[in-house]
Structure 1
Amino acid sequence: MGDGGGALSGPAAPAQGWQAPSAVERGLYEAKARGDWPAYYDLVARADLYMMQSRAYVDANPGNTRFHPYWNPQTGTMCLAVYTGGMLPPPVADPVYNCYDLGWFARAWEQNDPPYLVVNPGSPCEGVLPAGPEGRALWQHHSASVEEPGLARDAVHTLETGGPRSGLVAFGLAVGAHINVRNGQYWNAMAYHGSGYRIEKNTLERWWSVTTREQWQRMQELLLSAGMVSDVWEFVLQLRRTMALDFAGPVDVEHWREAAAKVARRRIEAATEPRLTADGVTPGHTVTPAELEGQVTGVQRLIGRIARYEARFRADGLLPEKGFVQSVEAWDYGRASGMARWGLAARLCSLQEAEAAVVRAGRLVQLNYRSWEAFSAAYILGRCLHFDEEEFGEWYETALATHRALTTDPTSPWLTLPWA
């Protein structure tokens, strides 16, 4: 037994030339090397633990889990294997990996289950945890103080091996870093398992109504074409950008409102006129004066919202003094990078397809923005216009925290990856 920790020390796998994939595995290795099993258990209790499952079984039994023990010559018994996030193989069609935590195993384990739970089997950071009544009590003890297992939210987490840290793929993954940092995921995990197959699949369905490969493909293309961003948002922002170029300087909000009202009226009135098409004369859309004024008022109200958000952005350091957002297409490009990885985790696409989509998202961001900071401000404005309703509440505060992490953490891809 290990020194006070209840784990089998056993023969350690050779560590020469081995590099821990992330801080999680490095911490496990170091605790094991010094024989500090209480610290090892604490790290396991805080970690996401992934377990292999049959995809067909998970799809047919979404609320159930099946153990798949293996023979372990070290213990001379059957054991159950679990893996921390950095030790997972690239996703394939089958099997899949669901995500659990040590407290869950303590509650779910039954008398006839294997006598040992093995963390990262065969690696230098392997831990063989006894699963008898005393062992499970130890699991529960170390899990009791853990409020939320997994990587910390709003912090930059990097795979030191197994994930790109330079090049086009890394840049495209960094485009999705707002999402990954907020959710406590490795920003550069291209071979992405996320929160495990079952949760990733359910999340895609709940938030995006995506359940099939075809739906994923359509949604991926829609995001890469900035097709989810409101045309009205882009209209007012592009109008201001044109005015700023014409007048070689900042645009007053009232001037912006007046110009938007004039252009909106012209566009709406033009849409009411008959048009000559290949099929003949096509009637225009009927718009009452009240409807026309209502649409114009809506555009002017939107300009006020954007101006107030940008004022807050400047106060909080998201924008420089006199800076403004030119386009909120960043909101879609960031989510396009995320959608590529979500599709892979849910087994709706291949690794190669996900990688290609990530690279496209990166190129689009480079074409449309001049810096990570400009991209981030545009992404956050899109997020706030979509969700926040000018409350400056959780939707804004969490995005601001993520922005600050990505622009200050020395390991952030926004500080290590060149823009051009």
Structure 2
Amino acid sequence: MSWVPPTHVERQLHEAGLRGDVQAQLRVLAGAELFIGQVRHEVDAEPNTVRWRVAVDPANRGTYRPLFTRGVLPPWRPDWVFHEVTLGWVADYPWSAPGQWLAVNPFTPAALNLPASPQDRALWRTLHAEAAADAKVVEADRCCVPSLTALHTGPLFGPLAFGLACGAHLAVSNGVPWNEVGTVCGDYTSERRTLRNLWDITDHDGWQRQTAFLLDYSNSPAEPEYALRVREQLRKSIGELPPADLWRETAAGGFQDRGASPALVAKMEELVRRIMRYEARFRADGLLAEDGWVTTASAYDYGRAVNLARWGLAARYCDPQQAEQTIVHAGALAKAAYSSWEGFSAGYTLGRVLRFDGEEYGHFYVEALTAHRLLTDDEGSPWRNIPWR
């Protein structure tokens, strides 16, 4: 096959099409991410209104509604954005013109033209409901883990791929391909809403400012890095990891010498204890080797910088060149700070849990641990195929 399907979705659609199995194609669509395009200024003016434009087939002048799977979305454009929808949403959309059809991935080897009669749409609705029910069963099964996906047409080696692999924790957790830098990450309106609510980003300047904080490792609190740096200095001085008491007393004493209040000094002592407890858990869970430790938690900011670049691109707060430059820069910073993917992952996880987990070992920890195991064990993982050095 000369054409390389970007993801398993396009491959399944193509293979079912070669067999003439429309039912199988519909079942693939029922469980897939689907997208429709709209002019950006319309979405900005009415974010809660979706307008699905029809297109005209130049061959017969008939009209159709275009629908895309993730792997064959059109190239990024600043003035054209995408909504994520479901096959159920497509079925419920008001199809007013008789004879209009649904064109899935038009003009690609994964193309599929479907009649959109009321009977056809009733079938789509049923298949979507079945797929949604199956997804709930899978989600409820604790043995199931998030999947690692990739665009086979995306970067797989080189500085850009390395940087994207540094953002793979969140790619796994969010269920998006780890190596995609394109039209969407999530859809346009959801990315804008998330960036506004969680990052206070509403324009390019805000995106650039938050990205700079992450690349400078100044988004995360400074105290954990201070404590880790004290331990590294002691380790280099005495030639081995310092005893817990020496580390704690040195870190707290340095804080006190800088004029910190007794309450802050006590917090530093407790922070050292927390780091040690987390590292013990990391060793038990395989995040660290039995004799391993975390040298820096900067990976948490660098990994998020990669994802902020992807989110900003989807939200049209930056262009592809700016996003790629950010991703490559974050990867270079990570490579300078760590010596392995495993070390990077442990640093990322420590930065995350110290900020959000509160030693509950809840979803902030479990998500990072699950992604770590998948990225270190899966033979198709970028961490198994892209050398650190």
TM range, smaller chain: over 0.9
* Corresponding residue for residue 195 of structure 2: 204
Query: Structure 1 pair 140/153, CA: closer, same or farther in 2 (3 Å)?
Result: farther
* Corresponding residue for residue 51 of structure 1: 36
> In structure 2, what is the Cα distance between the partners aligned to 1:102 and 1:317?
40
- Cα deviation, residue 57, structure 1: 0.4
Deviations 1:68-105 (A, max 9, x none): 11122577521000111110123111111111111111
Instruction: State yes or no: 1:142 paired with 2:134.
Output: no
- Work out which of the residue numbers 359, 372, 377 in structure 1 matches 2:346: 377
8 A Cα contact 1:176 1:335, kept in partner: yes
8 A Cα contact 2:103 2:112, kept in partner: yes
* Corresponding residue for residue 222 of structure 2: 231
* Corresponding residue for residue 14 of structure 2: 29
- Work out which of the residue numbers 250, 254, 265 in structure 2 matches 1:263: 254
8 A Cα contact 1:153 1:183, kept in partner: no
> In structure 2, what is the Cα distance between the partners aligned to 1:111 and 1:401?
46
Q: Please give the secondary structure, in 1, of the residue aligned with 2:331.
A: helix
Instruction: State yes or no: 1:195 paired with 2:164.
Output: no
Instruction: State yes or no: 1:351 paired with 2:320.
Output: yes
Q: Please give the secondary structure, in 2, of the residue aligned with 1:145.
A: helix
- Work out which of the residue numbers 105, 111, 120 in structure 2 matches 1:126: 111
> In structure 2, what is the Cα distance between the partners aligned to 1:133 and 1:189?
36
- Cα deviation, residue 334, structure 1: 0.2
Task: Report the AA paired with residue 158 of structure 1.
Answer: A
8 A Cα contact 1:153 1:181, kept in partner: no
* Corresponding residue for residue 170 of structure 1: 161
Give the alignment's TM-score, normalised by structure 2: 0.94
Instruction: State yes or no: 1:320 paired with 2:311.
Output: no
Task: Report the AA paired with residue 142 of structure 1.
Answer: L
> In structure 2, what is the Cα distance between the partners aligned to 1:201 and 1:114?
36
Q: 5+ unaligned residues in a row in structure 1: which ranges?
A: 1-15, 270-291
> In structure 2, what is the Cα distance between the partners aligned to 1:90 and 1:306?
44
> In structure 1, what is the Cα distance between the partners aligned to 2:322 and 2:360?
38
Where in structure 2 are the equivalents of 1:210-359 lying within 5 Å?
210-268=201-259, 292-359=261-328
Q: 5+ unaligned residues in a row in structure 2: which ranges?
A: 137-143
- Work out which of the residue numbers 15, 30, 47 in structure 2 matches 1:62: 47
- Work out which of the residue numbers 316, 322, 330 in structure 2 matches 1:361: 330
Query: Structure 1 pair 311/220, CA: closer, same or farther in 2 (3 Å)?
Result: same
> In structure 2, what is the Cα distance between the partners aligned to 1:24 and 1:240?
48
Task: Report the AA paired with residue 221 of structure 1.
Answer: A
Where in structure 2 are the equivalents of 1:378-417 lying within 5 Å?
378-417=347-386
* Corresponding residue for residue 100 of structure 1: 85
> In structure 1, what is the Cα distance between the partners aligned to 2:110 and 2:382?
27
Query: Structure 1 pair 191/114, CA: closer, same or farther in 2 (3 Å)?
Result: farther
Q: Please give the secondary structure, in 1, of the residue aligned with 2:258.
A: helix
* Corresponding residue for residue 8 of structure 1: none
* Corresponding residue for residue 89 of structure 1: 74
> In structure 1, what is the Cα distance between the partners aligned to 2:59 and 2:188?
30
> In structure 2, what is the Cα distance between the partners aligned to 1:46 and 1:264?
54
Deviations 1:365-419 (A, max 9, x none): 0000000000000001111011111000111111111111111111111011011
8 A Cα contact 2:55 2:65, kept in partner: yes
* Corresponding residue for residue 159 of structure 1: 151
Larger % of helix: which? Answer: 2
8 A Cα contact 2:73 2:183, kept in partner: no
Count of residues in correspondence between the two structures: 380
8 A Cα contact 2:228 2:295, kept in partner: yes
Give the alignment's TM-score, normalised by structure 1: 0.87
* Corresponding residue for residue 140 of structure 2: none
- Let me know the Cα RMSD of the aligned residues: 1.7
- Cα deviation, residue 258, structure 1: 1.3
Higher Rg: 1
- Cα deviation, residue 145, structure 1: 2.1
* Corresponding residue for residue 141 of structure 2: none
Task: Report the AA paired with residue 353 of structure 2.
Answer: C
Query: Structure 1 pair 115/259, CA: closer, same or farther in 2 (3 Å)?
Result: same
Deviations 1:135-188 (A, max 9, x none): 111111110122359xx9722111111x11010000011111111111011111
Q: Please give the secondary structure, in 2, of the residue aligned with 1:210.
A: coil
> In structure 1, what is the Cα distance between the partners aligned to 2:113 and 2:250?
69
Task: Report the AA paired with residue 2 of structure 2.
Answer: G
> In structure 2, what is the Cα distance between the partners aligned to 1:251 and 1:138?
66
Deviations 1:207-240 (A, max 9, x none): 1110110001111111111011211111111001
8 A Cα contact 1:192 1:341, kept in partner: no
- Cα deviation, residue 115, structure 1: 2.4
Instruction: State yes or no: 1:80 paired with 2:65.
Output: yes
